[in-house]
Amino acid sequence: MIKIAITGPESTGKSTMAAQLAERYNTVWVPEYARSYVGNLGRDYTLEDIEAIARGQLALERELQPQANKVLFADTDMLVLKIWSEHAFGHCPAWILQQLQAQDYNLCLLMGVDLPWEPDPQREHPHLRRFFYEWYKRELEALGVPFVEIHGQQQERLQLAKQHVEALLSKHQP
């Protein structure tokens, strides 16, 4: 099973990309658990909520993985939760850091900030997109995980992502 995480700042097309790639490769994608969790919270989120979201995200990925057809796309990963936690609360729970170190994605697609910001009640930082993008990039480099940067408008992004997925799939052919 090839696993690809789609990561990066808010409003960069992660969910759209995950859905498009899953459709293209006739497989499933793991939605962002935080959307439903925070949407149903009825109060401001806490550090404990971020850890609960991380646990929910991993459980959802485990639940959907058996339905995947050769490749699984994840709309988010533990890096999103680490950065969210550190920015919002100044630190990240050790459990999330452990899960981040244990991630086993074959590739991460780091979504660029060149798409227009789309307002959403759950999005918080339209003015910090470049700051977050650079943070994600530094973290991915420090983790030493394979990643590619995805830029451009919708069709250009999709074409670029498909090129990287195809290259990965061709390397893993039996």
**pLDDT level of residue 123 (50, 70, 90 thresholds):** confident
In the chain, pLDDT over 90 holds for what percent of residues? 83
What is the rounded CA–CA span in Å between residue 17 and residue 87?
A: 25
- Model pLDDT for residues 91-114, shown as the tens digit of each residue: 999 999 999 999 999 999 999 999
DSSP string, 111-145: E-S-SPP---TT---GGGHHHHHHHHHHHHHHHT-
What is the rounded CA–CA span in Å between residue 133 and residue 170?
A: 29
Q: Which residue has the tokens 């058996």?
A: 66
Contacts of 64 (CB under 8 A, 6+ apart): 28, 29, 30, 72
In this structure, what token pair is assigned to residue 107? 């590739």
- CA torsion sign for 169, 171, 173, 174 is negative
- Model pLDDT for residues 40-80, shown as the tens digit of each residue: 998 999 999 999 999 999 999 999 999 999 999 999 999 99
At the fourth CATH level, which superfamily is domain 2-171? Answer: P-loop containing nucleotide triphosphate hydrolases (3.40.50.300)
**pLDDT confidence of residue 66:** 97
**pLDDT confidence of residue 54:** 97
What is the rounded CA–CA span in Å between residue 106 and residue 17?
A: 17
What is the rounded CA–CA span in Å between residue 139 and residue 21?
A: 24
Mean pLDDT of the residues in the chain: 93
**pLDDT level of residue 174 (50, 70, 90 thresholds):** low
pTM (2 d.p.): 0.94
In this structure, what token pair is assigned to residue 81? 């939760």
